[in-house]
Amino acid sequence: MSGAVAAGRAKGRGSKSRPIPPRERRPIAASPAGAAVGPVADGARSQTPSWFAHLVEMASEHVLAIQVGTLLLLTAIVYGHTLDVPFYLDDYPSIQENPTVYLWDGSLRAIISQQPLRWITYLSFALNYRVNAFQSAGYHIFNIVIHAINGLLVFRLVYCMLRTPALRMSMNLPMCMIVDAESASTCGIRDQDQESPTWMAFFSAAFFLIHPLHTQAVTYIVQRAASLASLFYLSSMVAYLEARLAQEPLRRYSWAGICLLSMLCAFFTKQNTATLPAALVLLELVFWKTTPRKLVFICFGGLFSLFAAWVLFTSVLHLDPFSIQSMAEISQETKSISRQAYLMTQFRVLWTYLRLYIYPVGQCLDYQGYPIYQTFWQTAVLYSFLGHVLLMGIGMWCFRRYPMVAFGIFFIIWLTLSSRVCCRSAMLPSNTALTFRMQAYP
């Protein structure tokens, strides 16, 4: 009896290891049409029209083109009806009544001498006048095109961020996919896994393009200074990430050159782009591992870059870069309120920026009547300051856990704080559109 049981067990073990004949390994798709075999999904797949399957296959092969086309279409839909918006407010002194624009003789030196810190912006206005005179539609088309390019740059920026080591580890993506998308197939990565970063970048760019907070920078013609500065700002950030992710030296140095060139163009488009070197330092600290020695080098490089930008601005204006009076001359917009009142009020203003980003209702071209705070101990100022400290604490906690969230928090805080110091601006004025735009980048 025991022998029979042992024989039965041996036979059972032998049956488990029995190889599957080729006939049984054939896929269900090879079954005759109409055969009631396999899961329901396979049966449904076999009944899919051939034209639809071909359409899906073509779409999967051109995902990037579809995404870019959709972003451009969204921009046209949202802002296409603004072409008949006339000139108003600062458009008159900056464009229609500005001889730098309508008397331009084609000399670059003439524009630089008249607008040394924003000559790229006024060069674009002069070119617009050559083509469109004072027909506002041409100026609006130019602004809309800039905004569309900014959306595409946001798309690339987010995609590059998702390829950095910090986010690669948090998303559990293989290194071969991050370094070179073409080598992903050799790692056995599925197509849908390769496409997931592009779709995340697509929705981020779409959010940026249609956010109501950008309407002023697009429809208010003179605010081209903000959108054009954003273009160079984003270009520099994208080029920096591309340089850090590049494997070949030639490609790395080429992107580094584009980064520096875009930075210089940004500096001569609008002054608050002086924050760009610090933004690049933030990219490095958040998305790459940093040793103490490397941290010292990065911080020193960032401070040196900021100082170089300051020297550049002061030299263009023929001012002493080591003079406190020069700093006041460049950064102070009005003498109607004191520096202290200006700073105290800004603590509250920054929360207005953040509220408009999350809940963009009640926007206004010029916030007249905004309350002015004189001392730090006023309730609104104190609570606003404590809120900023709490927000920075959340950013520190997310620094390694959620790198993208940490970058967004510090990026917004740095831009809103430093742009109040690095450029001439009033309290919640129309020319803070760059600050508004930056809040949507991450």
Residues whose CB is less than 8 angstroms from the CB of residue 266 and which lie 6 or more positions away in sequence, other chains included: 229, 232, 233, 236, 273, 276
User: 190: left (phi > 0), else alpha (psi -120 to 50), else beta?
Assistant: beta
Average pLDDT over residues 250-257: 93
Rounded CA-CA distance 345/328 in Å is 18
Is residue 236 very low, low, confident or very high in pLDDT (cuts 50, 70, 90)? very high
Amino acid at 186: T
Q: For residue 309, what pLDDT is reported?
A: 77
Q: For residue 18, what pLDDT is reported?
A: 52
Q: For residue 328, what pLDDT is reported?
A: 66
More confident residue, 418 or 222: 222
Amino acid at 411: F
Whether residue 307 has pLDDT greater than 90: no
Give me the residue spans of the domains in the chain. 65-87+134-288+332-438
Is residue 108 very low, low, confident or very high in pLDDT (cuts 50, 70, 90)? confident
Q: For residue 168, what pLDDT is reported?
A: 74
Q: For residue 72, what pLDDT is reported?
A: 94
Q: For residue 144, what pLDDT is reported?
A: 95
Whether residue 11 has pLDDT greater than 80: no
Rounded CA-CA distance 266/130 in Å is 23
Rounded CA-CA distance 206/204 in Å is 5
More confident residue, 403 or 259: 259
Q: For residue 58, what pLDDT is reported?
A: 62
Mean pLDDT lowest among 3-17, 41-55, 250-264, 353-367: 3-17
Q: For residue 157, what pLDDT is reported?
A: 93
Mean per-residue pLDDT of the chain: 75
Whether residue 397 has pLDDT greater than 50: yes
Q: For residue 120, what pLDDT is reported?
A: 92
Rounded CA-CA distance 46/267 in Å is 59
Could you report the per-residue pLDDT of 40-53, keeping only the tens digit for each? 444 444 455 676 56
Q: For residue 121, what pLDDT is reported?
A: 92
Could you report the per-residue pLDDT of 177-232, keeping only the tens digit for each? 444 444 444 444 444 445 567 888 999 999 999 988 888 889 999 999 989 999 99
- For CA atoms 118, 119, 120, 121, the dihedral sign is positive
Q: For residue 52, what pLDDT is reported?
A: 58
CA 413 to chain centre: 15
Q: For residue 31, what pLDDT is reported?
A: 43
Whether residue 253 has pLDDT greater than 80: yes
Q: For residue 127, what pLDDT is reported?
A: 93
Whether residue 425 has pLDDT greater than 50: no
Q: Which of 174-188, 219-233, 277-291, 331-345 has the largest mean confidence?
A: 219-233
Q: For residue 56, what pLDDT is reported?
A: 61
Q: For residue 194, what pLDDT is reported?
A: 52
The residue count for the chain:
442
Cβ atoms of 218 and 82 within 8 Å: the answer is: yes
Average pLDDT over residues 309-338: 71
Average pLDDT over residues 335-346: 77
Residues whose CB is less than 8 angstroms from the CB of residue 128 and which lie 6 or more positions away in sequence, other chains included: 138, 139, 142
